[in-house]
């Protein structure tokens, strides 16, 4: 069958976006892995699927699959692209869009300047929410990796994140520690790993080794998790500019009882059709 799709990106974190409101298809894990392949397929970090909502209070259901075929709970850069996509495709005319995700509801606003503002909900630090095996909730957890003990912040943004503070993201051992932490036995559902360099209380640099996709040029939920962990440790103060290899995001988290808000761009690259075997 022939499937219409759109290629998009949020700061270089790239997506294949599929409208299953007006098309019918069912993608198997191995088909997703093949489509994600940058040489034999279309190539993407995540597949985003737009579906009708199951909850009548919501506008859409938004599903996310990593390049390895695993379905996940949330994707921040994807959420911004999702909002752009449903408006460009005229699936909605609303400026404020309510979506259900596996990680909980999100509220998305397409601003007049084209930037997308996402209410990402409240970060959760309780280890059980990730899940992460730890005796209790604390700002930093000691984790043994490859003969060293690392101090990690752990945060759920619907999906699981570990945040490691580093001197410099340029020399951070992302390729070495990323896969070791992603599959560390204390994270039974694996984890996304952020390497955060604090530049000032309102500015960080960040690289993220993503669960199921490897290092990406940007990770929206990773940026939210790093800022939440940094604020909780007293290193940062809202709002915070996050510099990622693919560009910049603005994150606001004015107080612990409020939602965390992410603002950033969403870019359409091209439309295509692919035959599914």
Ligand X SMILES: N[C@@H](CCC[C@H](N)C(=O)O)C(=O)O
Binding footprint of ligand X on the chain (CB under 6 A): 13, 45-46, 64, 66, 72, 75-78, 159, 192, 210-213, 216, 219-221
Q: Tell the smallest beta-carbon distance from residue 208 to ligand X (Å).
A: 8
- Nearer Cβ to ligand X, position 12 or 139? 12
Q: Is 232 annotated as a binding residue?
A: no
DSSP assignment of 214-226 equals EEES--HHHHHHH
Residue among 17, 48, 219, 225 flagged as catalytic = 219
User: Does the annotation place 277 within a ligand binding site?
Assistant: no
Q: At 225, list the tokens.
A: 């998790």
Least distance between ligand X and beta carbon 46 (Å): 5
The set of long-range contacts for 129-137, using a CB threshold of 8 Å and a minimum separation of 24, is 129/156, 130/154, 130/155, 130/156, 130/160, 130/161, 130/187, 130/189, 130/191, 131/160, 131/187, 131/188, 131/189, 132/160, 132/162, 132/186, 132/187, 132/191, 133/185, 133/186, 133/187, 133/188, 134/186
Coil, helix or strand at residue 19 = strand
Name the minimum Å distance from CB 147 to ligand X.
Answer: 27
Q: Does residue 109 have a known ligand-binding role? A: no
Closest distance of CB 211 from ligand X, Å: 4
Set 3, 36, 48, 75: catalytic member: 75
Instruction: Between 153 and 201, name the residue whose CB sits nearer to ligand X.
Output: 153
* Residue 169 CA neighbour count, 13 Å, CB half: 20
75 in active site: yes
Q: Catalytic residue positions? A: 75, 219
Which residues make up each annotated binding site? Answer: 13, 46, 66, 76-77, 159, 192, 210-211, 220-221
Which residues make up each annotated binding site for substrate? Answer: 13, 46, 66, 76-77, 159, 192, 210-211, 220-221
């Amino acid at each position: 069958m022939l499937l219409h799709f759109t290629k998009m990106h949020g700061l270089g974190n790239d997506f294949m976006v599929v409208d299953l409101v007006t098309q019918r298809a069912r993608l198997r894990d191995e088909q997703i892995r093949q489509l994600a392949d940058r040489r034999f397929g279309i190539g993407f970090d995540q597949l985003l699927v737009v579906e009708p909502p199951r909850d009548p209070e919501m506008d859409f259901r938004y599903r996310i699959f990593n390049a390895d075929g695993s379905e996940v709970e949330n994707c921040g850069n994807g959420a911004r692209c999702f909002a752009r996509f449903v408006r460009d495709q005229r699936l909605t005319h609303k400026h404020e869009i309510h979506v259900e995700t596996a990680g909980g509801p999100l509220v998305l606003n397409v601003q007049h300047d084209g930037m997308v503002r996402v209410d990402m909900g409240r970060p959760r630090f309780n280890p059980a929410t990730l899940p992460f095996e730890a005796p209790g909730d604390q700002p930093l957890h000691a984790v043994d990796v490859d003969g060293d003990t690392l101090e990690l912040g752990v945060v759920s943004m619907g999906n699981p994140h570990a945040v490691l503070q580093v001197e410099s993201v340029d020399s951070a051992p992302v390729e070495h520690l990323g896969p070791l932490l992603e599959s560390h036995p204390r994270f039974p559902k694996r984890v996304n790993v952020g390497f955060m360099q604090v530049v000032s209380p309102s500015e960080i640099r960040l690289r993220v080794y993503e669960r199921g996709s490897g290092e990406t040029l940007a990770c929206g939920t990773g940026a939210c998790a790093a800022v939440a962990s940094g604020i909780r440790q007293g290193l940062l103060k809202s709002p915070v500019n996050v510099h990622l290899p693919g560009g910049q995001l603005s994150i606001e988290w004015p107080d612990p009882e409020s939602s965390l808000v992410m603002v950033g761009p969403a870019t359409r690259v091209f439309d295509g059709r692919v035959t599914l075997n």
